[in-house]
Amino acid sequence: MVGLLVAGSGCPVPRAHEALPPQPWKQPGTQAGQEISGPDGGKMVWVPAGTFTMGTNEGGEYFSDAVPAHQVRLTRGFWLGRCEVTWGQWQRYRQEAGVRSGPGSGGPTLGPDYPAWHISWAAAAAYCQHFGLSLPTEAQWEYAAAGPEGRKYPWGDEWDPQKCANRNNPGPRNLLWPVGSFPQGASWCGALDMAGNVTEWCQDWYDPKYYARSPTNDPPGSDSGKNGARVLRGASCYDVDPVNFRCVYRSSRLDLGPFRAPQDRYAYYGFRCACLP
């Protein structure tokens, strides 16, 4: 029996000397890439506070919603999922939280180490909330991918299809790969699969004009989104054009018609978690 019993209640009370289990995600890290185990069992890496150039001035067909380039300062470091949430993690969450099958609760699986996919924004947010985590803001996501030096791709400035899951580099059983299959594609802080595998939900509403008025410090994102859409980042294994894998590339997948609202899902939608200590 852990602790003492309160008379007549049958409820254990922790002894004064009994410490809670370690919760490293509630403490700041000491250096970029430091790893811990998060509350959902997944590995998290430390992303220290810093300043970077978010977006681009390239504009055009692909980057019309990512202009202008602007300085962003993240005043607090944060923990970020080293990899995307896996199917195994998702299944454990469903059992623990009593989530039933149905829209937004998960799609076909290839195995426990593959990314959870076919996940809606609302379901991803519920998963994070259950563990006291959150989806990363768009600024957090891009900073973790591109870093202070503003890499074009998480691993550097040259496109290399062998460093991520994409249509020209399909997985052993499908387009998807088990998470963490491309250590050579790691970002500056040690985050993996930030390009390819599944496109990842961010916390923010999708507003194609937001960068023009985004604050410098800790941008929270727009108050609302175009046609009810949330931001997606990172491309997926189904994509093939290198431009889609750029760290600055923003997506809402409005081109997919109904697959845009927080409760909607699509085959290659997944997510990773974040946490401010």
> φ and ψ at 276, to 5 degrees?
-90, 120
C-alpha atoms less than 13 angstroms from C-alpha of 95 in its C-beta half-sphere: 7
**Residue partners of 51: CB distance under 8 A and separation at least 6:** 71, 72, 73, 74, 148
Alpha-carbon gap, residue 107 to 95, rounded angstroms: 15
Which of 23-37, 158-172, 259-273 is the least confident region?
259-273
Share of the chain above pLDDT 70, in %: 84
Taken in order 221, 222, 228, 229, the sign of the CA dihedral is: negative
Question: Which pair of structure tokens corresponds to residue 131?
Answer: 């563990």
- Say whether pLDDT at 1 is over 70: no
Q: What is the DSSP letter of 95?
A: H
SS (H, E, C) 8-34: CCCCEECCCCCCCCCCHHHCCCCCCCC
Span 188-202, mean pLDDT? 97
Span 126-150, mean pLDDT? 97
In 23-168, at which residue ranges do the beta strands (DSSP E only) sit?
Answer: 35-37, 43-47, 50-54, 70-74, 78-81
Query: Tell me, what's the pLDDT at 216?
Result: 97
Query: Tell me, what's the pLDDT at 131?
Result: 97
> φ and ψ at 124, to 5 degrees?
-65, -45
The angle formed by the CA atoms of residues 9, 11 and 14, to the nearest 5 degrees, is 135
Is the CB of residue 79 less than 8 Å from the CB of residue 36? yes
pLDDT digits (tens, 9 = 90+) for 99-125: 876 555 556 678 999 999 989 898 999
Q: What is the DSSP letter of 167?
A: T
- Say whether pLDDT at 211 is over 70: yes
Q: Which domains does the chain have, with CATH numbers?
A: 25-275 (3.90.1580.10)
Which of 158-162, 228-232, 272-276 is the least confident region?
228-232
Burial class (CB in 10 A: 0-12, 13-18, 19+), 173: exposed
Place of tokens 């697959």: 259
Residue 137: C-alpha distances to residues 25, 155, 203, 267 (Å) = 17, 21, 5, 22
How many Å is the maximal CA-CA distance in the chain?
71
Query: Tell me, what's the pLDDT at 215?
Result: 96
pLDDT digits (tens, 9 = 90+) for 15-49: 545 566 789 999 999 999 999 999 999 999 999 99
Query: Tell me, what's the pLDDT at 100?
Result: 76
Query: Tell me, what's the pLDDT at 252?
Result: 78
Size (the chain), residues? 277
Alpha-carbon gap, residue 196 to 204, rounded angstroms: 20
Place of tokens 């970077």: 52
pLDDT digits (tens, 9 = 90+) for 90-105: 999 999 998 876 555 5
In sequence order, what are the beta bridge partners of 16?
none
pLDDT interval class at 259 (50, 70, 90): very low
Span 129-141, mean pLDDT? 98
